[in-house]
Amino acid sequence: MSDRMTLSRLVEILAARSSTGPSSVSLTLNAKGDTQVGVEVKVGEEAPTVGEAAVVAASVYDILRARYPRTDNGAPQPPQDDIAEKRAQIRRLSAQKRKGEK
């Protein structure tokens, strides 16, 4: 048996370990004047699988990136993705969670 850990086992360990504590979002204004976005979504009730946590984290990040676009020498850059679709995706995940609670 190899001493190397498989990717699937590593994901399981990380998912189990990260299921404690709250998810978080951080917004920091850097010296250049850009807002730096940090999103951490824990696997748990809101996102029961790693895949769902990744979708929620990416969606929240994309929404915040659009709200706080990076600048190019002071000129704001247009958002890269369709933010309305990301918001709809979050709403669908929330609705699925609520249905599962009933």
Instruction: Tell me the C-alpha distance between 24 and 84, whole Å.
Output: 22
Is 1 within the bounds of a domain?
no
Is 86 within the bounds of a domain?
yes
Between 6 and 61, name the one with better pLDDT: 61
Is 51 within the bounds of a domain?
yes
E strands, the chain, are 24-29, 35-40, 71-72, 75-76
Q: Which two tokens stand for residue 52?
A: 């769902």
pLDDT at 51 over 80: yes
Is 2 within the bounds of a domain?
no
Tell me which residue range forms the domain holding 45.
7-101
Between 38 and 13, name the one with better pLDDT: 38
Is 58 within the bounds of a domain?
yes
Is 44 within the bounds of a domain?
yes
**Contact yes or no for 39/25 (Cβ under 8 A):** yes
Q: Which two tokens stand for residue 79?
A: 């958002």
Is 20 within the bounds of a domain?
yes
> In this predicted model, what pLDDT tens digit does every residue of 82-95 receive, in sequence order?
677 777 888 888 88
| Domains in the chain, number | 1
For tokens 């709200």, the residue is 67
Position 8 scores a pLDDT of: 67
Is 54 within the bounds of a domain?
yes
Predicted TM-score (pTM) of the model is 0.54
